[in-house]
Amino acid sequence: MCGISEPIKYGHDAIVAQNTFDFAVGHVVSWVGGHWIFTARRAQRQSREVTVTLYFFDTHAHIQRSRSGRCPDVRNLLLRARQTGVRAVLAPAVDHADWDTLAKITPPRGLNLYVAWGLHPYFVCEVTPSESATIVEELYDRVTSATSELRTRLRAIGECGLDFARAQSPEVRAHQVRVFRAQIDLARATGLPMSIHCVRASGPLLELLRERPTPPAVMHAFSGSAQTALSLVAAGHYISFAANVCVPGARKVIEAARAVPDDRLLLETDSPDQTPPSRRPAPNEPAFIIDVARRLAELRGAELEAIATLTRDNARRVFGVEEPLALHEFDDDDQP
Ligand SMILES: [Zn+2]
């Protein structure tokens, strides 16, 4: 039980450590030395110390990128994530240069790193249709001929999708649709799920996904309505929430976060973007996933531990992860 040599006592009014917050009625939680500690007020009005360790799967983190460009200090980023309970990360590509970068990252022991290869709709806006056609062809070749070692880590196609806020003209929108449709076809051909970005394009997105049977996909950093979320769930897909649910007054996405059934709910940071409000102005990172989990637990009236567990299990299912996650702490010298 790393870092805790004797019980640490927190009264219900005592907020004394970093990352302290109300867990639920009658609880106080703190992240201390690798464990979540909370004091539970029991029905008999007794208090007792309980140690809970929470483990997370961050289903969307661009660890290969910083806000200012490529390659932040990935190793320390992942060590900090591991230290705060993250046990798996899916890192999606934005463009073709990311594919090899992601494949070469070696995560620290005990943190499983998975990758998605694809082309982001932002990137599609920056290249010509003939350039994207060549890159899509390369994506097909490389994914369908991936070695078994790479396939163990390559668990999704993405980040791909539609962003009609970025693409205003009919031509650019049609270009995004073409490139996205090609990636949907690749998902169908390989059986891999997609990590999908969708902004102001939920109608066309649903149409494209319904054209033919499509493997379950992940709607990343979902920002749509509860109705759209439930339509996607009905079509077999998963809904992943980032820190936009933490923004006060984000009524539409909050309704969606309450509506998604337990077995389709996922957690992500979308780091380095979408820093939770309480962490700003720091760039976002997987270690901050606890903020999203805490908010979802609050919105859904659920235990934080239940949110961590069910989202982790859902992520393993949709990404076809068979290897076990290390659900214990690390006492080694691999500290950030
Ligand atoms: Zn992303």
Same domain as 62, residue 23: no
Same domain as 85, residue 73: yes
Question: How far is the centre of ligand 1, averaged over its atoms, from the C-alpha of 274 (Å)?
Answer: 10
The residue-averaged pLDDT of 195-211 equals 96
Question: How far is the centre of ligand 1, averaged over its atoms, from the C-alpha of 197 (Å)?
Answer: 7
Same domain as 9, residue 78: no
Distance CA(228)–CA(251), nearest Å, equals 14
Question: How far is the centre of ligand 1, averaged over its atoms, from the C-alpha of 291 (Å)?
Answer: 18
Least confident of 117-121, 210-214, 236-240: 210-214
Distance CA(264)–CA(230), nearest Å, equals 10
Domain that holds residue 73: 56-318
Same domain as 194, residue 80: yes
The residue-averaged pLDDT of 208-216 equals 94
The residue-averaged pLDDT of 302-329 equals 96
Question: How far is the centre of ligand 1, averaged over its atoms, from the C-alpha of 195 (Å)?
Answer: 8
Residue at which a domain ends, from 31, 53, 75:
53
Same domain as 175, residue 107: yes
Q: Is residue 327 part of a domain?
A: no
Question: How far is the centre of ligand 1, averaged over its atoms, from the C-alpha of 244 (Å)?
Answer: 13
Mean pLDDT score across all residues of the chain: 86
Question: How far is the centre of ligand 1, averaged over its atoms, from the C-alpha of 91 (Å)?
Answer: 9
Same domain as 101, residue 235: yes
Same domain as 237, residue 136: yes
Question: How far is the centre of ligand 1, averaged over its atoms, from the C-alpha of 176 (Å)?
Answer: 16
Question: How far is the centre of ligand 1, averaged over its atoms, from the C-alpha of 220 (Å)?
Answer: 7
Confidence class for position 66, pLDDT limits 50, 70, 90? confident
Instruction: Give the per-residue pLDDT at 161.
Output: 98
Q: Is residue 326 part of a domain?
A: no
Q: Is residue 311 part of a domain?
A: yes
Contacts of 233-240 with C-beta under 8 Å, sequence gap 24+, read: 233/260, 233/261, 233/264, 235/206, 235/209, 235/210, 237/209, 237/264, 238/193, 238/264, 238/265, 238/266, 238/314, 238/318, 239/264, 239/265, 239/266, 240/59, 240/60, 240/266, 240/267, 240/268
Q: Is residue 16 part of a domain?
A: yes
3-class DSSP string for the chain: CCCCCCCCCCCCCCCCCCCCEECCCCEEEEEECCEEEEEEECCCCCEEEEEECCCEEECCECCCEECCEECCCHHHHHHHHHHCCEEEEEEECCCHHHHHHHHHCCCCCCCEEEEEECCCHHHHHHCCHHHHHHHHHHHHHHHHCCCHHHHHHEEEEEEEEEECCCCCCHHHHHHHHHHHHHHHHHHHHHCCCEEEEEECCHHHHHHHHHCCCCCCCEECCCCCCHHHHHHHHHCCCEEEECHHHHCCCCHHHHHHHHHCCHHHEEECCCECCCCCHHHCCCCCCHHHHHHHHHHHHHHHCCCHHHHHHHHHHHHHHHCCCCCCCCCCCCCCCCCC
Same domain as 96, residue 2: no
Q: Is residue 328 part of a domain?
A: no
Same domain as 88, residue 30: no
Q: Is residue 27 part of a domain?
A: yes
Same domain as 13, residue 66: no
The residue-averaged pLDDT of 172-180 equals 98
Instruction: Give the per-residue pLDDT at 18.
Output: 31
Position 175 pLDDT exceeds 70: yes
Same domain as 273, residue 216: yes
CATH of residue 62's domain is 3.20.20.140
Instruction: Give the per-residue pLDDT at 68.
Output: 65
Residue-wise pLDDT for 235-287, tens only, equals 999 999 999 999 988 999 999 999 999 999 999 999 999 999 999 999 999 99
Question: How far is the centre of ligand 1, averaged over its atoms, from the C-alpha of 324 (Å)?
Answer: 25
Number of structural domains in the chain: 2
Question: How far is the centre of ligand 1, averaged over its atoms, from the C-alpha of 173 (Å)?
Answer: 19
Question: How far is the centre of ligand 1, averaged over its atoms, from the C-alpha of 154 (Å)?
Answer: 16
Q: Is residue 323 part of a domain?
A: no
Distance CA(150)–CA(145), nearest Å, equals 10
Question: How far is the centre of ligand 1, averaged over its atoms, from the C-alpha of 1 (Å)?
Answer: 35
Same domain as 67, residue 35: no
Q: Is residue 166 part of a domain?
A: yes
Position 24 pLDDT exceeds 50: no
Question: How far is the centre of ligand 1, averaged over its atoms, from the C-alpha of 92 (Å)?
Answer: 7
